[in-house]
Amino acid sequence: MLTQMRFEGPTYNIRSRRTPSKLPARHLFALRINANHSSALLRSYIEDFRAQHYQYESHREIFMAAPSSATDTGLISLRDLIDFISHVSDCYPDICKDFPQQLIDMLMQHHLVLETELREKLVGSLVLLKKKDIIDSERLLHTLFPILVSTPSKTLRALLFQKILSELRTANSKTTNHKLNRTMQTVLFNLVTSDRTSAKGLWAIKITRELWKRQIWTEAKAVEVMKEAALSENEKVVVGGVRFFLGGDKEREELEDESSDDEVNVGQVKHQLTINKKTRKKARAAEKAIKSARNKEKKKGQPNVMLNFSALHLLHDPQGFSENMFFKHLQNGKSKLNLEQKLLVLQLVSRLVGLHQLHIMPLYSYFQKFLTPRQPSVTSFLASLAQATHDLVPPDVLEPLVQKIANEFVSEASAGQVATAGLNAIREICVRQPLAMDETLLQDLVMYKKSKDKGVMMASKGLLSLYRDVGAQMLKKRDRGKEAAMSLRAGERSERRFGEQAVGQIEGLELLARYKDEERRKKNIEKGLPSDAEDDEDNEEDNWDAWNVEDDSDDDVDGEWINVEDDADINLSDSDDEGKSRPSKKTKQEGEEQKDGEKSKAEEEIDFLKLATTRILTPADLAKLAELRAEAAAEATLPGNKGRVAAPWTSRHTDDPLTANEIEGLAALSAAKATREERIAHAKEGQTDRSEHKSKEARKKERKEQEGKSTTNKEKARKHKPFLMSLGKAKSKNKRSLKDVSRALKAHHDRGKRGGKRGNLGTTVGPSR
Amino acid sequence: MGNSSKRKKEKAKDFQKPKLKVGKTKAKPDNYTDTTFKSKSIVLTQQSLHLAAPTSNATFTHNLSLLAAKSDTQRRDSLAYLTTTISSRPVNSPLPQPVSVILPSLLPLILDASANVRTQLLKLLKTLPEGDVEDHVGQLLPYVRAGMTHLAADIRSSAVDILSWMVEAAGESTVSCAGGWIKTLNCFLSVLGWHTDESARWSSSRASFGKAGSQGKPMVKTLGALSEFLEAGIGKPAVKDVEMSDDETSWPYPLCQTEHHMISESSTPFAYLNLSGQPRDEEGEMYETREDRFRVFSSRFHPAMERGLKSAREEGGELGRASSSVTKVLKEAIAYGAGP
């Protein structure tokens, strides 16, 4: 009876919730019957349900008298009763109005002593009640969360954590549930701030991090929770909070990439559907695939759906936060953190300092005592120091540090790796604050470019090329290079002053300007005007049409295509900043060199500044800009362009962290450290794929093998027949008489005429098999 | 040949003798299995064998523990043993174990699947001294109620039997203990199927849930128990009260209240305060006086009861006759009204 009833209630319920339009006629009929009889049906079972409810009530009473004792009394256990009632409780709301509260009480008061299965059943039933909208998610979370924090049982914690997360995810699935998020964030915030010494804050961190990763929480409040966690007294909590700031955003991006990777090929799915056996499951899968593809199409049209700021940017009062962190965890003698944890904190603080251009003066003197080659994981310290440098740090604070690094690390006597690390660190500091270097030291360090150690040599050259760019007058004359020396002589370069700000610009705008210029010229040529005639802005309508990114052109193509010119003739030159002046290769090919040659740099600079100041960049423009930038970046990685890529500091985004590996530089790749595979991979980095030069047949074969498809019989025969098997025949063929040979040839010829062994005649009728 | 020498070497490896070293333990053989284990506690399942026969007290305790045995014959036999031990003890001698010890192991048996066990249980319960039962009614009642709403009709009917025994043995405390009045009445209505208008009609399948019992006439029995229960709860109070009022006139002022200043007779005089228990709702509340019970009854149960009785009467036969006893109790109670 119990089982019967179990099915009766829910089936009705499921049917009634479906919309009729999706159901086939048969189901529709059933639905109508149910709609008519639903209330009668429920009423006819009400006595039975009431009896079960009383049964539950008395079992609950028995249980509450002794919660820890076994619940398996008689035929039915309390667990089954709870299961049953929670499944049908939405059909009898008046009888079950106290039911959720009773479950909550049971769980909250006795979760420590409850039998595990019953405990899990209680949690599951509560979640089920939430799904049926009998309790709201706030109530559910307010029940589950305190238990999560307080229970000593690992399995229960895992279960609760998973349930809480999925609850928050479903609550935010359609639209962001701001109210719920806010209350939950407040609860987490209070958890972290209420008792700073306890490890309970870890749960707040876990939840926040998970939701941040899934982009469900992207607000400043969530960051605030993590900020408080980072300022906690408990080491674990501190490390959890710090790790979030250091890696949370990357994690988020990775997840996003992953989710966008696993797209299904709609065509393939459709094709498979026509061939394979048609089951409902497969139909559903196909429908899902098509739906997701459609959604993706839709998303493509919408501009910047996911514009999420990184946690570091959402921080409120970064100066106060990083000061607190520094004085509490690093400068404080009583801090319990070990070196590894301190390094993490230091990384975060220095990252914040660099990113927000903060001023924490004691930070730099703090570094002083760690800058020796014997210090464990000194490269991390060096990286942190470089990160903490920005162009508003007074040079006199940095100068002693640079001096110390040079003294301690860079000498003829020190090992190559050590010197490399030192030089790289100095370079990274000077990229951010060129004024930290003094002239004699620089000239001294540049001399290491003649070193026999490759790492040292490269590092020194890096420093040299940096100063050619930012402070050529500090270098010796012969080190300056052609470009820098000429511009120095022309007086174009002035010495950078402390605190001087460069004119702001949009990255890659010159590319756009050049592209536009070119387009205009093409159009003019089409019209028959002189190529450099001014575009008098008459085609306003065209401009309005081009306001948005046109989507129809490459709808069927997955992803963006970047035009990489693989046969670009390489334009080598020593100068670093010629990206601006170098005209795109295409223009040359089209034979329009008459202009570009003469165009001076100054003129062009004005051109793109004009573009930025006089025009509003449309979404179409911005899209084009992004494309051009990607193109330029792809071009730069081609093997011939190595010389130009040598300045990694120009390509670094301010949000990206500086790692210890970068400080170690080439030493990390040196023979002692890298495995063979790594070295091979490194050597292959710039090379193009050789497999492109294979024959068509070979490529086809490879592809087939990769897809796990079979080969033709011919191919099999070629592959597998051992030569010994055919040896006898080959020998006997040689010994044939002339007559036999001619007969065989004739037979072959005839066979060819007939159309093979079977012949063409038989095909229309075909032998019955 | 290289190959064969290699094989020879391999073969030789198989039959190598392990080297024994002085001062070292012998090397373990290849097929050695580690049989050591760690355990927090080790239970030795061993019979305790004694020369002397166990005392009757020890056997009693042993049989008490056997009540949780898996096989139902074992349970039944243990119950039978306990019953004979209790009933055959000398008059006025105490029980081998106090009721508070015996009862917790008896309670789950109310819901036992085997009919034999349940009948034996009722026999055992009837041998318990009534005064002791009175204090444990609160423990018994949840199990009885669970039995009354059980899916199996047999268990329902035996639970009703136990309830009628309880009313007989300790009527006052049965109706006045926590949850004893409303919840039990609810169970009665549910067993009889009298809750709603529709279900009380004769045409609807009454008491439909669960399998039909093998012991016939469950309704009749239930109605009998209901009448006893109502009698205990809201029946006309005993004549004792009248005598009390006589005493009041016979004694002068301070002495007539002596009873109120004495130590209470019941074991838990302040149970109604519920100092250490769960907070109670309306249904779980104690209704200690007849007025309270009558008020609750007339507001909650009277209409449903009347309706059910009417349909039972209309059905006639044995059921109709049984219903008339309930009707009689009800009439008397209403005639007596809310109280003096």
At B168-178, the pLDDT tens digits run 888 788 888 88
Based on the domain organization, do A401 and A431 belong to the same domain? yes
In A594-607, which positions are buried (b, 16+ CB within 10 angstroms) versus exposed (e)?
Answer: eebeeeeeeebeeb
Predicted confidence band of residue A72 (pLDDT cuts 50, 70, 90):
low
CB contact under 8 A, B111 and A74: yes
Based on the domain organization, do A235 and A348 belong to the same domain? yes
pLDDT tens digit sequence for A626-675? 888 888 877 766 655 444 444 555 556 666 778 887 887 766 555 555 67
Based on the domain organization, do A180 and A329 belong to the same domain? yes
CB contact under 8 A, A54 and B151: no
CB contact under 8 A, A73 and B145: no
The answer to whether residue A182 is domain-embedded is yes
How many angstroms from the chain centroid is the CA of residue B19? 71
* Closest residue on chain B to A48 (Cα): B209
Considering only CB atoms, which chain B residues are within 8 Å of A78?
Answer: none
Tell which of A47, A59, A102 to mutate to test the B interface (max B CBs under 10 Å).
A47
Based on the domain organization, do A205 and A343 belong to the same domain? yes
pLDDT tens digit sequence for A98-133? 899 999 998 988 888 888 888 899 999 999 999 998
pLDDT at A504: 66
pLDDT at A577: 41
Q: Is the ipTM of this complex over 0.85?
A: no
The C-alpha of B193 sits at a distance from chain A's nearest C-alpha, in angstroms, of 7
Which residue among B148, B155, B209 places its CB closest to the CB of A48? Answer: B209
Which residue among A55, A59, A64 places its CB closest to the CB of B278? Answer: A64
pLDDT at B263: 81
B69 touches chain A (CB under 8 A): no
Residues 6+ away with beta carbon under 8 Å from A389: A354, A398, A428, A429, A432, A433, A436
* Closest residue on chain A to B155 (Cα): A74
* Closest residue on chain A to B142 (Cα): A58
The answer to whether residue A761 is domain-embedded is no
Predicted confidence band of residue A588 (pLDDT cuts 50, 70, 90):
very low
The C-alpha of A115 sits at a distance from chain B's nearest C-alpha, in angstroms, of 18
CB contact under 8 A, A65 and B139: yes
pLDDT tens digit sequence for B121-164? 999 988 888 888 888 888 888 888 888 888 888 888 889 999 98
Considering only CB atoms, which chain A residues are within 8 Å of B190?
Answer: 47, 50-51, 54
The answer to whether residues B165 and B122 touch, using CB atoms and an 8 Å cutoff, is yes
B100 touches chain A (CB under 8 A): no
- Among A171, A189, A208, the domain boundary falls at A171
pLDDT tens digit sequence for A440-457? 999 999 999 988 888 889
When the pLDDT of each residue in chain A is averaged and rounded to a whole number, the result is 77
The alpha-carbon radius of gyration of chain B (Å, integer) is 32
pLDDT tens digit sequence for B83-131? 998 888 887 788 888 888 888 888 888 888 888 999 999 999 888 888 8
CB contact under 8 A, B179 and A62: no
B271 touches chain A (CB under 8 A): no
Asked if the model's pLDDT at residue A466 lies above 50, the reply is: yes
pLDDT at A574: 44
The C-alpha of B38 sits at a distance from chain A's nearest C-alpha, in angstroms, of 22
Which residue among A48, A62, A64 places its CB closest to the CB of B146? Answer: A62
Helix then strand count (H, E) for chain A reads 39, 0
The C-alpha of A143 sits at a distance from chain B's nearest C-alpha, in angstroms, of 19
pLDDT tens digit sequence for A519-535? 888 888 887 766 555 54
Considering only CB atoms, which chain B residues are within 8 Å of A74?
Answer: 108, 111-113, 146, 150, 155
Q: Which domain holds residue A137?
A: 45-171
The answer to whether residue A540 is domain-embedded is no
The C-alpha of A412 sits at a distance from chain B's nearest C-alpha, in angstroms, of 55
pLDDT at A386: 92
pLDDT at A27: 44
d(CA A5, CA B148): 19
Between chain A and chain B, the number of residue pairs with CB atoms below 8 A apart is: 79
Q: Residue A704 has which token pair?
A: 């087939």
Based on the domain organization, do A78 and A199 belong to the same domain? no
Considering only CB atoms, which chain A residues are within 8 Å of B159?
Answer: none
Q: Residue A10 has which token pair?
A: 């829910």
Helices within chain B (DSSP H only): 2-14, 56-65, 72-87, 99-106, 115-127, 130-135, 137-148, 153-176, 182-192, 218-234, 240-250, 253-256, 258-261, 290-296, 302-315, 317-336
The C-alpha of B199 sits at a distance from chain A's nearest C-alpha, in angstroms, of 7
CB contact under 8 A, B151 and A46: no
Residues 6+ away with beta carbon under 8 Å from B31: none
Give the percent of chain A with pLDDT over 70: 74
CB contact under 8 A, B149 and A74: no
* Closest residue on chain B to A63 (Cα): B142
- Among A171, A194, A225, the domain boundary falls at A171
Burial (CB count <10 Å: 0-12, 13-18, 19+), residue A108: middle
Q: Tell me which of A492 and B241 has the higher pLDDT.
A: A492
The answer to whether residue A192 is domain-embedded is yes
CB contact under 8 A, A75 and B196: no
The answer to whether residue A528 is domain-embedded is no
B195 touches chain A (CB under 8 A): yes
Tell which of B190, B206, B282 to mutate to test the A interface (max A CBs under 10 Å).
B190
The C-alpha of A689 sits at a distance from chain B's nearest C-alpha, in angstroms, of 43
Based on the domain organization, do A252 and A340 belong to the same domain? yes
The C-alpha of B202 sits at a distance from chain A's nearest C-alpha, in angstroms, of 14
pLDDT at A215: 85
Considering only CB atoms, which chain A residues are within 8 Å of B149?
Answer: 51-52, 54-55, 58
Tell which of B140, B143, B151, B194 to mutate to test the A interface (max A CBs under 10 Å).
B151
CB contact under 8 A, A58 and B113: no
CB contact under 8 A, B149 and A51: yes
B224 touches chain A (CB under 8 A): no
The answer to whether residues A324 and A364 touch, using CB atoms and an 8 Å cutoff, is no
Which residue among A43, A54, A74 places its CB closest to the CB of B190? Answer: A54
Based on the domain organization, do A54 and A101 belong to the same domain? yes
The answer to whether residue A118 is domain-embedded is yes
d(CA B227, CA B164): 10
d(CA B79, CA B128): 13
Considering only CB atoms, which chain B residues are within 8 Å of A75?
Answer: 111, 113, 150-152, 155
For chain B, which residues make up each domain, given as ranges? 58-86+95-128, 133-257+266-340
CB contact under 8 A, B152 and A52: no
Which residue among B142, B193, B284 places its CB closest to the CB of A47? Answer: B193
pLDDT tens digit sequence for A673-722? 567 787 788 777 766 666 667 788 888 888 888 888 877 777 777 666 77
B112 touches chain A (CB under 8 A): yes
- Among A171, A201, A221, the domain boundary falls at A171
Considering only CB atoms, which chain B residues are within 8 Å of A58?
Answer: 142-143, 145-146, 149, 183, 187
Question: Total structural domains in chain A?
Answer: 3
The C-alpha of A96 sits at a distance from chain B's nearest C-alpha, in angstroms, of 14
Q: What is the DSSP letter of B92?
A: T
Q: Residue A542 has which token pair?
A: 């065209």
Q: Residue B244 has which token pair?
A: 């009390």
pLDDT at A644: 44
The C-alpha of A44 sits at a distance from chain B's nearest C-alpha, in angstroms, of 8
The answer to whether residues A22 and B183 touch, using CB atoms and an 8 Å cutoff, is no
Which residue among B112, B146, B198 places its CB closest to the CB of A58? Answer: B146
The answer to whether residue A269 is domain-embedded is no
Predicted confidence band of residue A764 (pLDDT cuts 50, 70, 90):
very low
Find tokens 């035009």 and name the residue. A563
Predicted confidence band of residue A166 (pLDDT cuts 50, 70, 90):
very high
Q: Tell me which of A688 and A468 has the higher pLDDT.
A: A468
The answer to whether residue A438 is domain-embedded is yes
The DSSP secondary structure of A179-239, one letter per residue, reads: HHHHHHHHHHHHHHHH-TTSTTHHHHHHHHHHHHHTTS--SHHHHHHHHHHHT-SSHHHHH
The answer to whether residues B239 and B180 touch, using CB atoms and an 8 Å cutoff, is no
Based on the domain organization, do A200 and A231 belong to the same domain? yes
Considering only CB atoms, which chain A residues are within 8 Å of B210?
Answer: 1
Predicted confidence band of residue A384 (pLDDT cuts 50, 70, 90):
very high
pLDDT at A646: 45
pLDDT at A583: 42
